[in-house]
Amino acid sequence: MVRRGLCALAALFAAPLPAAPPPPPPSYVSDVATLLTANGGSEPQARIAEFVADDVKVYVNDRMVAQGKAAWLNYAGSRPASAGLLGHSEGWAEGGGSLMIVDQFDTIDRSKLPKDFIVDPRFDARSTLYEFGEDQKIHAIRTLIGAGFWIKP
pLDDT in tens, 108-127: 777 778 888 888 778 888 89
At residue 151 the predicted structure's pLDDT band, cuts being 50, 70 and 90, is: confident
The model's pTM? 0.78
- Say how many C-beta atoms besides its own lie within 10 A of residue 136's C-beta: 16
User: Given this model, what pLDDT does residue 8 score?
Assistant: 54
Residue range 47-94, pLDDT digits in tens: 788 999 999 999 999 999 999 999 998 888 777 777 788 889 998 877
The class that CATH gives domain 23-109+120-145 is: alpha beta
- Torsion angle defined by CA atoms of residues 28, 93, 79 and 73, in that order, rounded to the nearest 10 degrees: 60
Q: Where are the domains of the chain?
A: 23-109+120-145
- pLDDT > 70: percent of the chain: 83
- For the residues of 62-79, what is the DSSP string, one character each? TEEEEESHHHHHHHHHHS
